[in-house]
Structure 1
Amino acid sequence: MKSPILRAVPRAVALSLLLPAAISPVFAQATNTATTALQPVIVVGTREAQPLKDSAADVVLIDADSLRDSGADSVEDVLRRYAGLQITRAGGPGQSSGYLLRGAGTSSTVVMIDGVRVGSATLGQAAFEAMSLGDIDHIEVLRGPASGLYGADAVGGVIQIFTKKGQGPLNITANVAVGDYRSREGNIGISGAQGGFDYAASLGRETSRGVSAVRPNDQYGNYNPDDDGFRRTVATARLGFTPVQGHRIGISATQSKLNNQYDSSEYLAPDYLPDNTPDFRNHLKTRQISADYRGVVNTLWTTSLQVARNTDDSRSGGTELARFKTDRDQFTWQNALQLAPGQQLVLGYERVGETVQADGYGDVPKRTNNGYFAGYTGGFGPASLEASLRSDDNSAYGTHTTGGLGVSYALSSTLKLRALAGTSFRAPTFNDLYYPYYGVRTIKPEQGRSVELGLNWQSGSSQASATVYRNKVRNLIGYDPDSTGTTCPDGYGGCANNTSRALLKGVSLLGGHRFGDLSLHATVDFLDARDSLSGARLARRAAHQESVSADYSPGVWSVGATLTDVGARPDTTEPLGGYALLDLRASWRFLPQWRLETKLLNAADRDVQPVRDYQGLGRQFWVGLRYDMKGF
């Protein structure tokens, strides 16, 4: 019997022929402006600026116009539409979210904001539910292992989020919107540059009444018919000073406060019976603060320094709150050396220290990681080479060396062949190591080996790409139910353990095309993610996911639609059916700086079960007003 991936190939080929659509949404935007000669630039692929078209890696760039015009309701939704991430969310917007990149678990993808690694060190994941689209300038997603440059956890890839940076004259932007479920949002921002200084700041607020996060008759009896809404406030600020050309000193800060309701049960003395009636809430505060310097020492050497702290502080529960607070201190020194025209060597050192304050943990040691990395990029006529090598020495789990090698070859002026191979690893989280009656201090990091082959095509206003990948992961960290003291410590009812191996393989298609005022783009992903020992599909991974968008913009008004289709997924004891969501949007620019916007999310009012026993929102209508001092 053919595997799902082999059965998917004919469908993938057909879709790629029917939709010569977008490797990157930025392309469709750029071809409609006066800056078409400017090639999109990324940094995530090599840690230094690089034209997107030259990358040997599978990289998606989501630009500012795409973020503004997508009509998406969250950062997670944008990443699903444009980068093919699969999303697992415990309810509607504002609820806790997981994310699966190329089938790798949530803890197996690195998330960064302005170069700072973010997320909870206890859970091992970033809180997308605490982020706002209004503060983001653009997002870069490297799909595929990248531990050779970024160290631990880059098994699925790397997501780099960049906040807005000041340039040019003073600009003021603002937007307000109201929607069903008593949803409200507003954001205001300023940016600009003058006299050697550049500045940008924004403040946003979002609220929604929501719906009950848990569905009736759930398996654990957590359902409570009250609505589970959220409140979120996000503020960002960036300030830079360029005393002389080629040298910039900057500071930046981002803070988010999230208060979201959820359904659960607690078991209190004296009878310890389940009680689902309290108002369960999660109070989450995240903060990133950094200072950085970048200087062009001479024509051959550019150096960068960054010192940063990321804090993730959560208090959650019903009548009793549990607190989990992690601090991550990061120091990075990076040097780019131009060996010759088209030949670059990147050398760097990165130190990360993590500390935890958590109820019930007791005395948890601080862990530190020292990473040394090198990356090379070189062009040789129609061929190019990318290589990386990194050594990480961690106080909790030892030393690991990883690397990657990528080559690309221009078969013609429009067609490029790519091939990459690399190793990666995921570090155990603090929960895996230290959580009471679950963590095991001797647990080993996961280790992965990956290969991929890709083909990129670009001609005029059309782009398309196809990537086939295969990633073998061993020492998979998971839950071991042993209660006999055989594989788990005595007295444990189960524990974290290296229990399995996984094989993640798939096909990814991206594309876009513009016909005059009509633009199309699509992402199509087929995934076969399995436990290598049992052959069972890994939980919550859909075998396929597609997102197709069309936008028509003849002038001062525009209309658009996005159809997202998610396949069936295994989830605990029973499978979840697939679902499709249709989102509609329209806008009218009635003055150069003013635009009226509407959107209809889940237009068909589909019943969505993102994970077992949880539910998303039904049909939701929004209307809003947007202002941009510079015009659109």
Structure 2
Amino acid sequence: MTIQFQPTALVGAIALALGSSSSVFAETATTAKTSLETIVVTATRSEQNIQDVPARISIIEPHIIEQSPIAQFSDLLRSEAAINVVQLGGYGQQTSIFMRGTDSDHTLLLRDGVRLNNEASGATSLSFLDTTDIQQIEVLKGPASVLYGTNAIGGVVQIISKTPQKSGAFVTAEVGEHGTYKSLIGADFAENGVFAQVRGQRLESDGTKISDHADAIASNYDQKGFSAKVGLEKETYGVSLDYSENQGTSVYQGFDWGSDAYVNKAHAFENNITTLKAYAQLNPTLRADARVSRFEDRLEQLKSFEITEYTANEYELMLKQQLGSQQNLSVGVTHKDLETETNKTSSSFAQQLDTTGYYIQHQYQSDRLNTQVGYRVEDHDKYGSHEVAQAGARYHFSPSLSVYSNIGTAFKAPTVNDLYYGSSANPNLKPEESMSYELGFDQQLNSAWSWGGSVYQTDIDNLIDYAAVSPWNLDNISKARMQGAEAFMHWAQDDYFLKTSYHYVKATNEKTDTELLRRPRQTLSISAGLENAQYGLSATVIAKSKAKDWDTAQRTPGYATVDLHGYWNVNPNIKLFSNIQNVGDVNYKAAYDGSVDGVYYINGGRLASAGVTFKY
């Protein structure tokens, strides 16, 4: 990279930034600003007021996402107290999320209903996701396999993309430390229900050291992407076609057991999503929604011959029948066929899998009581059929006080790699299964103050792990239990706000009575500031306790970071903004790297940046 971050730019960033990172406001349920008007779709697959959902759900809103184009997708999730983000270094490095203490592959990631979990490995390439075209992010906590199938044991994180509401164009640029910059360009058209959108982005960073070993070097990253959308929205019908692609390269270091040394590696990535969606109001009480999508994910190791390609085609149809004024019934079918292929100098691998899910959901909605009951059958062409069910209810004692409870089962199907790839694969693996219980409340104390909390327990059976005896292949050998609680309190008056959220979880292996890896028991998030249509200043603190890592001898220390944000709308066409992520430059340890010399992956440290948006 040729761009350099100048000291004057850093001074400007600090002068502007007196507020929080792009993840502030992750907990927005039942606040004075959003409770009555916030609409979510993840909980029921259709629009619903967040105050009526019989589960804990939070929103990361558009103005938060737009605070810093440089921010990674993982940065947007960090202040969600129920999620532990583990990133092995800075930009472009491997990232996992642990929702409510469950495994990193127990959270389903969606983009407008399209599954982004690579079911060859079970993981999602969070570090390779672009944040350019996001309207809001919905975080649904708790089991959701009835509506979404595999992976949704801990919950669902869904990206809702933007749909143009008016015509216009914009250009945004942000530059920061470590030779980091991002530029965006976009245009929208919307008239009489017809809309079109186009976006382009480019991000580069010289990067930072990803581990604390003596010879570590900075690991650079570059990314570019394009997206386009066109559609028609009418009261009784609509159709849209959406395409997005994202590609780049990431440099990293890893321990090589053959040479007993750290070696430099790099990989090139490319992913794209094509989605065709349509809806029709067949009569006053019956609506049909359909989707056809294709997700392609390609990863190539640049310093050794290894190319992994994954393709998933999905087909979905849902019918929603209104039964009188207070009840509705939804039935749906989803079909997915996937292909995965890994080409290497030896041990190449290819496999295909098909799965079909059938679900039914009933909802009752009145002024005081909202209920949701569902059931799903999943037919998998390798392990057969699997069934899950869920029931929940929220009761409003008054317009300002409600309680909710839910119970549900969920599952995580064995991945293609678990079943067939490598010497440890086991084609006889069964799905991991869970049972979850939750009880919570939300209360608006007055026009300024609100608070809420919940307690939950999740039990997981048939956890897939390596057997303790020869031949040490994968098997359903473990059981786990997650017991936790969440609480939040928000205050907002005029332009000022204060938001706090706290999460506690105890995650244990029930067979060995030991802690599960990389699950800090406590997380605290506090944000405060002021914002209005012209300017805003805010700050957020995120603190986590220590966590077990690797074995009983290794523990990842706890840490606390402070993020700052500021913006100024100079006029309707120009916006200036600045951010300082991790203002104290805290180089906290993210995870033990598994080598013999006690090396830890570390975070990327401070990133101060400043930017401008011109819009028309």
- Cα-Cα RMSD: 2.1
Question: Secondary structure of 1:365's partner?
Answer: strand
Cα drift, residue 205 of structure 1? 1.2
**Residue in structure 1 matched with residue 555 of structure 2 by the alignment:** 575
CA distance in structure 1 between the aligned counterparts of 2:147 and 2:35, rounded to whole angstroms: 30
Counterparts in 2 of 1:132-151, with a 5 A limit? 132-151=130-149
**Residue in structure 1 matched with residue 209 of structure 2 by the alignment:** 212
CA distance in structure 2 between the aligned counterparts of 1:615 and 1:231, rounded to whole angstroms: 20
1:439 paired to 2:425:
yes
Cα drift, residue 429 of structure 1? 1.1
Counterparts in 2 of 1:220-619, with a 5 A limit? 224-242=215-233, 245-266=235-256, 273-274=259-260, 276-277=262-263, 279-316=264-301, 318=303, 320-359=304-343, 362=348, 364-458=350-444, 459-482=446-469, 484-485=470-471, 494-553=472-531, 556-573=534-551, 574-612=554-592, 613-619=600-606
User: Does structure 2 conserve the Cα–Cα contact (< 8 Å) formed by 1:71 and 1:599?
Assistant: no
1:275-310 CA distances to partner (integer Å, 9 max, x unpaired)?
Answer: 534x41121111110111111111110001111111
User: Does structure 2 conserve the Cα–Cα contact (< 8 Å) formed by 1:431 and 1:438?
Assistant: no
Q: CA separation of 1:361/1:390 partners in 2, compared to 1, >3 Å: closer, same or farther?
A: farther
User: Does structure 2 conserve the Cα–Cα contact (< 8 Å) formed by 1:232 and 1:257?
Assistant: yes
User: Does structure 1 conserve the Cα–Cα contact (< 8 Å) formed by 2:341 and 2:351?
Assistant: no
Counterparts in 2 of 1:64-79, with a 5 A limit? 64-69=62-67, 73-79=71-77
Cα drift, residue 238 of structure 1? 1.3
Cα drift, residue 555 of structure 1? 5.8
Question: Secondary structure of 1:411's partner?
Answer: strand
Cα drift, residue 503 of structure 1? 0.1
Cα drift, residue 46 of structure 1? 0.7
User: Does structure 2 conserve the Cα–Cα contact (< 8 Å) formed by 1:474 and 1:502?
Assistant: yes
Q: CA separation of 1:72/1:342 partners in 2, compared to 1, >3 Å: closer, same or farther?
A: farther
Amino acid at match of 1:136: I
Amino acid at match of 2:512: S
Cα drift, residue 354 of structure 1? 1.2
CA distance in structure 2 between the aligned counterparts of 1:290 and 1:405, rounded to whole angstroms: 30
1:359-379 CA distances to partner (integer Å, 9 max, x unpaired)?
Answer: 355554311111000111102
Question: Secondary structure of 2:64's partner?
Answer: helix
User: Does structure 2 conserve the Cα–Cα contact (< 8 Å) formed by 1:480 and 1:496?
Assistant: yes
Cα drift, residue 38 of structure 1? 6.6
User: Does structure 1 conserve the Cα–Cα contact (< 8 Å) formed by 2:480 and 2:509?
Assistant: yes
User: Does structure 1 conserve the Cα–Cα contact (< 8 Å) formed by 2:294 and 2:312?
Assistant: yes
User: Does structure 1 conserve the Cα–Cα contact (< 8 Å) formed by 2:29 and 2:58?
Assistant: no
Cα drift, residue 258 of structure 1? 2.8
CA distance in structure 1 between the aligned counterparts of 2:68 and 2:442, rounded to whole angstroms: 24
1:550-606 CA distances to partner (integer Å, 9 max, x unpaired)?
Answer: 121366332111101011010103001100010112222222221111122211111
Q: If the length of structure 1 is used for normalisation, what is the TM-score?
A: 0.88
CA distance in structure 2 between the aligned counterparts of 1:282 and 1:163, rounded to whole angstroms: 27
User: Does structure 1 conserve the Cα–Cα contact (< 8 Å) formed by 2:36 and 2:49?
Assistant: no
User: Does structure 1 conserve the Cα–Cα contact (< 8 Å) formed by 2:478 and 2:511?
Assistant: yes
Moved more, 581-590 or 45-54: 581-590
1:350-409 CA distances to partner (integer Å, 9 max, x unpaired)?
Answer: 001111111355554311111000111102452221111000010122111001000111
Cα drift, residue 173 of structure 1? 2.7
1:61-89 CA distances to partner (integer Å, 9 max, x unpaired)?
Answer: 22111222378822112112136311111
User: Does structure 2 conserve the Cα–Cα contact (< 8 Å) formed by 1:200 and 1:238?
Assistant: yes
CA distance in structure 2 between the aligned counterparts of 1:57 and 1:555, rounded to whole angstroms: 32
Question: Secondary structure of 1:607's partner?
Answer: coil
CA distance in structure 2 between the aligned counterparts of 1:361 and 1:355, rounded to whole angstroms: 17
- Match for 1:621 among 599, 608, 615? 608
Question: Secondary structure of 2:132's partner?
Answer: helix
CA distance in structure 1 between the aligned counterparts of 2:579 and 2:292, rounded to whole angstroms: 41
Cα drift, residue 481 of structure 1? 5.0
User: Does structure 2 conserve the Cα–Cα contact (< 8 Å) formed by 1:588 and 1:597?
Assistant: yes
User: Does structure 2 conserve the Cα–Cα contact (< 8 Å) formed by 1:26 and 1:63?
Assistant: no
Q: CA separation of 1:551/1:72 partners in 2, compared to 1, >3 Å: closer, same or farther?
A: farther
Question: Secondary structure of 1:431's partner?
Answer: helix
User: Does structure 2 conserve the Cα–Cα contact (< 8 Å) formed by 1:23 and 1:510?
Assistant: no
User: Does structure 2 conserve the Cα–Cα contact (< 8 Å) formed by 1:73 and 1:93?
Assistant: no
- Match for 1:126 among 120, 124, 127? 124
Cα drift, residue 121 of structure 1? 1.9
**Residue in structure 2 matched with residue 51 of structure 1 by the alignment:** 49
Amino acid at match of 1:232: Q
User: Does structure 2 conserve the Cα–Cα contact (< 8 Å) formed by 1:42 and 1:50?
Assistant: yes
Q: How many pairs does the alignment contain?
A: 581
**Residue in structure 1 matched with residue 12 of structure 2 by the alignment:** none
User: Does structure 2 conserve the Cα–Cα contact (< 8 Å) formed by 1:112 and 1:161?
Assistant: yes
Cα drift, residue 424 of structure 1? 0.6
Question: Secondary structure of 1:152's partner?
Answer: coil
Question: Secondary structure of 1:263's partner?
Answer: strand
User: Does structure 2 conserve the Cα–Cα contact (< 8 Å) formed by 1:210 and 1:228?
Assistant: yes
Q: CA separation of 1:628/1:375 partners in 2, compared to 1, >3 Å: closer, same or farther?
A: farther
CA distance in structure 2 between the aligned counterparts of 1:83 and 1:117, rounded to whole angstroms: 23
Q: CA separation of 1:92/1:116 partners in 2, compared to 1, >3 Å: closer, same or farther?
A: same
Q: Percent of aligned positions with the same letter in both sequences?
A: 23
**Residue in structure 2 matched with residue 6 of structure 1 by the alignment:** none
CA distance in structure 1 between the aligned counterparts of 2:601 and 2:46, rounded to whole angstroms: 41
CA distance in structure 2 between the aligned counterparts of 1:302 and 1:536, rounded to whole angstroms: 49
**For structure 2, which runs of at least 5 residues remain unmatched after alignment?**
1-23, 593-599
Counterparts in 2 of 1:96-111, with a 5 A limit? 96-111=94-109
Amino acid at match of 2:582: N
Amino acid at match of 2:417: N
1:175-197 CA distances to partner (integer Å, 9 max, x unpaired)?
Answer: 11111111111112222312442
Amino acid at match of 2:163: K
- Match for 2:28 among 25, 28, 43? 25
User: Does structure 2 conserve the Cα–Cα contact (< 8 Å) formed by 1:335 and 1:346?
Assistant: yes
**For structure 1, which runs of at least 5 residues remain unmatched after alignment?**
1-20, 218-223, 486-493
Amino acid at match of 1:226: I
1:491-544 CA distances to partner (integer Å, 9 max, x unpaired)?
Answer: xxx332212100011011234221222112232111100001121110000001
CA distance in structure 2 between the aligned counterparts of 1:496 and 1:457, rounded to whole angstroms: 46
CA distance in structure 1 between the aligned counterparts of 2:118 and 2:250, rounded to whole angstroms: 17
CA distance in structure 2 between the aligned counterparts of 1:280 and 1:481, rounded to whole angstroms: 32
